[in-house]
Structure 1
Amino acid sequence: MQITPTIRAELDRYLKQQGLSLTQFGHIAGINRGIVSSIVTGNKSMSVNQLDRITEAMGLAEGYFYDLYIENYIIDFPPNMRRIERLLYRCAELDKLDAIRRIVGQIMDNLLYSPKLFDIAEALLAQGRHAAALLLYEGVAEAEKYQHSERLAICHYRIFTIQIGDDQNRNVRAAAIFEAFVERLDEVEQLDALKDLANVYRSLRKWDKVDEMARKMRDKARIQYTLKHQQNSRELNEAAKKLSRPLFVYITYADLLCASVCEAKGDYQQALQYTYAYANLDWVMETDEDALHWIKLYQHWAQCNTYVYKLLSGDLSVLHDYVDHIIASPDNTEKEMIANLMNIVMAANQFQIDVDDVLLQFEDNINSFAQLPTSNDMYTQQVVPDQYARFGYELAYYYLYRGMYKDGFKHLMNASIKANILNNETYFINCMGLFVRFQAHAVPETKAEYFNLVERVWENNVEKNASVSHGN
């Protein structure tokens, strides 16, 4: 039988090796001699704060004894939530995720601890300690999986937002799991959840899902907006304050999403009808500064997208008006610029028009797209990187078919790299096909660089799928 070592035995051994009395060590650690004595003799448990002081006084790394602490004072002991809470925060600070996993696994058999662990997870999320928070949310969700509770739904919402990242295959799974819990959220909180789901599905180009989420969001937002202004209840107004944007925006954003679905299907006339719908905001009752900001933003987007859908429909006469509108726009952010330029290049490829002058005009913007800012906003986090990969492909297509091979292969390489990061097989295959079509025009260095990339992607794919099961 293996005997679990103890922290007090380690401390006792250290005191003897260093020839320190309890008083001397207590002075070094800043702990009363009597407390040190009680800890060494086993008559008293120690707090996490005392453990940290003892660890530092022994010259050991922060958190050195945390695994032993779990063994000595948490496993096989009635849970002490004050002690556990402090230990969880310290483990999160030191990125000791395995220790957090052990603690959660030890105490989550009892549903009574779910509310406290959930509160700790919320605090860690607010601190930006997402990996640690994720473990707690997963623990609470697992413990409450048979409960029809709002807390369970919120846990799955948090898990979804934390897990969404560059890997689009993983994003598909995360979205599918969370979607089943949306209806359990508070009626108001469902709006942000549906918005986030729609943006993830939009980046995945799952247009039927985007349409479904958008219509649900519009219907729910209309009900809440009507209730808010009919009843004018304090409760509804307070609930609306938890939203990431004004309540009416969820109605207009649903129309914008539906327009993007129609665009993806090539139905530009219907896309225009949705665009005209969110351009007309006379029905909005709010007049505060935030509301006016969003109204102005939607009017700008409507004007911009009206040009886009006309252009993609073949009305090339609007091209220069569109470019002038982009230049004059007060919202020339990276994410807006990449969408605008992608639309122009798509139209150029579709109708074989020359837009060299436009691309030259925005050359600095195009060169800066590789360093897009990070964001917690689901649109910026998911849709924009997807657009960057698509834009790179369209730009490569434009240059290669016009014989501008150096620029074409440069953008093709960038698009291929981004498609690989996103784990987007469709984009990557499209890029490979374009390279194969024009490889005769690539210089040896470009060929070598591209084939090295393809080989790395192949090796990584083989490694990820190395385990193969046999049998029926």
Structure 2
Amino acid sequence: MSILDKTIRTEFLHYIEENKILLYHFAERSGINSGTLSRVINGSQPISVKILDIMTEYMGLEDGYFYEQYVSELFDDSTMNWRRLRPFIIRCAELGKYNCIERTVDLMMENPAYIQQLFDCAESLNAKGSAEAALIIYRKVCEGERYQHAERLAICQYRIFKLSINHDQQNNLECAVQFDPFVARLNELEQLDALKDLMNLYLSLRRWDKAEQLATRMGKLARVQYKIKHQRIQGGKSYQEPSKALFGYILYSSLIKGAIAEEQNDYHQALHYVSGYENQDWIIEKDPVAELTKKQFREWAAANRYLYQILAGKIDVLDEYVEYLSARENEILRGMFKLIKAANTHNMNIDYVLERFKMKISSHMFIQDRVGSYTDQIIDDRFAIFLMDVGDYYLNSDRARVGIQFLLDSLAISAKINNDACMVRVFCTFDSIRHLATNEELHRYTTLLKEVRKTR
């Protein structure tokens, strides 16, 4: 039998002839209906992926062995339809046969009628955690979408954005730039989450102006929707909620604008924004979930009021804040990010604070703990800068051994996430104190430089 003559059916027939198996016996052992198997073999009934998987298993072959061939045969068959294609795509996702998914979708995109079905399939895969498979389909749907202002296109771009974010800051910037124009095309409720996610990414990239613009947009949109919601409720009408409580987006807008003001060293303005999420008298919701959300924002307000005062130079509240922080495990790192900044700005001695929380700091080098409301991207960025700041703190007090170790740890994380600004800062600092480094420290620095060059 030549390669040109090979099909799944001919390979199966060759197998049963070679092993001297009767079709009836094969059907009985595999659990396939004998009539169905007969029709499949003689070509009067297409092979479903379920039957193909059973045949493959009983032939002693690995799962998905025939899938590449199956793609070709699917589209040679005039009876090809979505009832056969969808189970095949789902099964490919389960087995990690992403090339087969890509080939199948490419062929399907020749018929625009499949776009909605493919989009629905991608949504289902994404909901089940099959991110890579869903991402392939979302991208293909975007390529095939004829209406550039269609909400479906915007949703696909949103899903692509969320699924494509990783620890590489350059990649994340490209994701943000690509998705940004599509936010306004989403429906109002999905826009809130999109604005929040995009804003958080710009925060991790330290694009303060852009993040502040998005925070303002999110707050305004949430206020409009909050008013509409309660007007509808008062009128006895239903209202569809976004993924989180509407009032939470309003509070979060103030929280973020306060954080941005702090990053720009405008502590008076930062303290002003604290009242925006501390004052909650206007919130109508009183249910248990709403109360928990409100309590969380009040806690953040209390913590940030301490922090912004300390950063502004009000050092007398430091001990009070450290005690407050020690009772809140998941806020310790976030607090330390700011305390080290205050220490370097106001020449404060916080040795006892660093000693008290040293296990939390060192453990984060190996275990990426959840830190307050911060996203993973923001934490990676902040932690790299924090280690650099701690290095400066020790170097400024003539403790080079400890300071250099923190500089090198910062460089390692900055290289991992592609944070160019932090890497440049480490390079400049290390070059100025190179003469203080041991041979072992110089060797580690050189090794890290090689790693950096590999990613460029």
Q: Which residue of 1 aligns with 2:438?
A: 443
Shift of 1:174: 1.0
Q: Does 1:276 align with 2:271?
A: no
In structure 2, C-alpha distance between the alignment counterparts of 1:233 and 1:148, rounded to whole Å: 34
Q: Secondary structure at the match of 1:232?
A: helix
TM-aligned CA distance change 1:199 to 1:35, over 3 Å: same
CA contact (8 A) 2:229 2:239 kept: no
Shift of 1:43: 2.7
Shift of 1:76: 6.4
Letter of the 1:306 counterpart = R
CA contact (8 A) 1:338 1:387 kept: no
TM-aligned CA distance change 1:203 to 1:77, over 3 Å: farther
Q: Which residue of 2 aligns with 1:203?
A: 204
Q: Which residue of 1 aligns with 2:218?
A: 217
CA contact (8 A) 2:278 2:297 kept: yes
Q: Secondary structure at the match of 1:67?
A: helix
Deviates more, 1:264-273 or 1:111-120: 111-120
Q: Does 1:102 align with 2:103?
A: yes
Shift of 1:4: 6.6
In structure 1, C-alpha distance between the alignment counterparts of 2:213 and 2:240, rounded to whole Å: 24
CA contact (8 A) 1:395 1:411 kept: yes
Task: Summarize deviations over 1:151-189 as a string: whole Å, max 9, x none.
Answer: 221111111110011111111111111111111111111
Task: Summarize deviations over 1:84-127 as a string: whole Å, max 9, x none.
Answer: 11001100000111100011111123232122212211111111
The structure 1 residue matched to 2:451, chosen from 450, 456, 467, is: 456
Matches within 5 A, 1:387-466: 387-461=382-456
TM-aligned CA distance change 1:378 to 1:97, over 3 Å: farther
Shift of 1:233: 6.7
Q: Does 1:383 align with 2:378?
A: yes
Matches within 5 A, 1:36-115: 36-75=37-76, 77=78, 79-115=80-116
In structure 1, C-alpha distance between the alignment counterparts of 2:369 and 2:355, rounded to whole Å: 27
TM-aligned CA distance change 1:230 to 1:40, over 3 Å: closer
Q: Which residue of 2 aligns with 1:345?
A: 340
Shift of 1:256: 1.2
Shift of 1:147: 4.2
Q: Which residue of 2 aligns with 1:360?
A: 355
CA contact (8 A) 1:374 1:381 kept: no
Q: Secondary structure at the match of 2:13?
A: helix
TM-aligned CA distance change 1:188 to 1:282, over 3 Å: same
Q: Secondary structure at the match of 2:405?
A: helix
Shift of 1:219: 0.6
CA contact (8 A) 1:399 1:407 kept: yes
Letter of the 1:37 counterpart = S
In structure 2, C-alpha distance between the alignment counterparts of 1:278 and 1:216, rounded to whole Å: 16
Q: Does 1:28 align with 2:18?
A: no
Q: Which residue of 2 aligns with 1:470?
A: none
Letter of the 2:49 counterpart = V
Deviates more, 1:190-199 or 1:117-126: 117-126
TM-aligned CA distance change 1:457 to 1:256, over 3 Å: same
CA contact (8 A) 1:145 1:152 kept: no
In structure 2, C-alpha distance between the alignment counterparts of 1:198 and 1:448, rounded to whole Å: 39
CA contact (8 A) 1:196 1:378 kept: no
TM-aligned CA distance change 1:236 to 1:163, over 3 Å: farther
CA contact (8 A) 1:228 1:236 kept: no
CA contact (8 A) 2:192 2:222 kept: yes
Q: Which residue of 1 aligns with 2:253?
A: 254
CA contact (8 A) 1:198 1:214 kept: yes
CA contact (8 A) 2:200 2:375 kept: no
CA contact (8 A) 1:26 1:32 kept: yes
In structure 2, C-alpha distance between the alignment counterparts of 1:236 and 1:91, rounded to whole Å: 44
Q: Secondary structure at the match of 1:181?
A: helix
Letter of the 1:130 counterpart = A
Q: Which residue of 1 aligns with 2:171?
A: 170
Q: CA RMSD in A?
A: 2.1
In structure 2, C-alpha distance between the alignment counterparts of 1:201 and 1:238, rounded to whole Å: 31
Shift of 1:391: 1.1
Deviates more, 1:77-86 or 1:203-212: 77-86
Shift of 1:374: 7.3
Letter of the 1:183 counterpart = A
CA contact (8 A) 1:5 1:68 kept: no
Q: Which residue of 2 aligns with 1:293?
A: 292
Shift of 1:74: 2.5
Shift of 1:41: 2.7
Shift of 1:27: 2.7
Deviates more, 1:36-45 or 1:421-430: 36-45
Deviates more, 1:36-45 or 1:200-209: 36-45
CA contact (8 A) 2:274 2:304 kept: yes
